[in-house]
Amino acid sequence: MKSIVSIREIRTYDAAQVEAAVRTCLEPLGGIGAFVRSGGRVLLKPNMLHGCGPERAITTHPSLLRAMIRITREAGARVLVGDNPGVGNSRSAARGAGYMKIVREEGAEWADLASTKVFDAPMNRVARRIALPAVLDEVDAVFTLPKLKTHTQLSFTGAVKNQFGLIPGTRKARYHYRMETREWLARLLVDINRIAAPSLAVMDAVVGMEGQGPSAGKPRDVGFILAGADLSAVDVVACSLVGLDPRLVPTVEAAGQAGFGATSMDQIEVVGDDWRALRVNDFENVRELVSVMRILPLPLAAQRWIRRQWQPRPRIIADACVKCGNCFEGCPIDPSAIDPNAESEVKVNDTTCIRCYCCHEFCPHNAIRLKPSRVGWLFRPLDRL
């Protein structure tokens, strides 16, 4: 059977209209009752990268969170809301994102995702033992509420990538370091999803982010909400809607290798509004060079060296930097490969930097740019997109 992904066009974040759109989007999936029982406990997992307001399109919009709390509580469930920002305190970030006010007003609870337990998953490829929030063992269902955004390392961040937020704070950076390549990071993400097992994804794509996402890109009117029980299928449809070939997205590729959901449009039935009419043809996706393995089957050491030569390098924009320290704290390298207080003019150690772009992702002030390398410009004709 094909995976069902439901789509609903909507061009506003008006709370009443968002709630109506979500309800309509869930109907072809059997309504909320197909995913939750009365008396059950449900964790809603938004994308809360920073504690910044919704106008920057970095976080899941509060209106979508409000709608999902209301709809889930109507089914008789107890609703918990939680996420871990890349750096900083989750509660303060939630206040900045506008979530705490909604959680209080709608009778939900803010979940403690910092308290972890080790989950065993011997069938996983990467995360056979991993510390994730203990609350995962205490809820009956997880609903993920991703934001449609580009991602400088993984091309796209959506339903599958959203569960990376289950890893507490700076531990995320450690996994960036341990995984080394985006392909291995994508496999880790799929493994996390197999443990957390979200049963429903509702994606905020009313306003998405294009360019250098997931935090330094530009808000872009996209105009729809997506929903589905198959997270990979939701991502595939979202990518197709913004002109990104899903086959070039590492999380989709890793999901296909792991048998985690549908990973091509011919395996998916899109219901609701006409998705072809909603396609955004000039969406600015992340430009990536073709994989080294697709050029020539080189030894692993050679692949790593070539990647490092062509990948963009982080640079601090002095006029925008407020020296908050998020980049320094979020860097997985010890000592940190980036230091806004360093005496060096560049302030980035290109030799130890692993090009994970955590600094770029965690900076709340868009004070870090990614400077293309000379080799990257040389290989420009091989761009994927």
Asked whether the predicted pLDDT for residue 341 surpasses 80, the reply is yes
Q: For 95-98, which contacts have Cβ atoms below 8 Å and span 24 or more sequence positions? A: 95/51, 96/50, 96/51, 96/52, 96/53, 97/46, 97/48, 97/50, 97/51, 97/52, 97/53, 97/54, 97/59, 97/62, 98/53, 98/54, 98/62
What is the per-residue pLDDT for 384? 44
Comparing 171 with 148, which gets the higher pLDDT? 148
Give 291's pLDDT tier (boundaries 50, 70, 90).
very low
d(CA 253, CA 335): 33
pTM of the full structure = 0.87
**3-278 and 292-382 in the same fold:** no
CA dist 42 and 8 (Å) reads 24
* Inter-residue contact 79 to 46 (CB < 8 Å): no
Query: Are 338 and 347 within 8 A, CB to CB?
Result: yes
What superfamily would CATH give domain 3-278? Answer: LarA, N-terminal domain (3.40.50.11440)
pLDDT digits (tens, 9 = 90+) for 155-169: 999 999 999 999 987
Give residue 70's pLDDT band: very low, low, confident or very high (50, 70, 90). very high
Would you kindly state where each structural domain of the chain is located, as residue ranges?
3-278, 292-382
Distances (CA, A) of 228 to 15, 22, 44, 58, 236: 21, 11, 15, 22, 11
Mean pLDDT of 295-319: 72
Specify the higher pLDDT residue, 244 or 350.
244
**Residue 178, pLDDT score:** 75
d(CA 292, CA 289) in angstroms, rounded, equals: 8
Query: Tokens representing 12?
Result: 């506003």
Give the span between the Cα atoms of 169 and 83, in whole angstroms.
10
Distance CA 118, CA 114 (A): 13
CA angle (373, 375, 380) in 5-degree steps:
95
CATH class of 292-382: alpha beta
Alpha-carbon torsion angle 177, 201, 133, 124, nearest 10: -60
Average pLDDT, the chain: 90
Can you tell me the distance from the alpha carbon of 57 to that of 61, in angstroms, rounded to the nearest whole number? 8
Pick the most confident of 72-81, 211-220, 283-292.
72-81
What pLDDT sits at residue 245?
94
Q: What is the pLDDT of residue 306?
A: 64
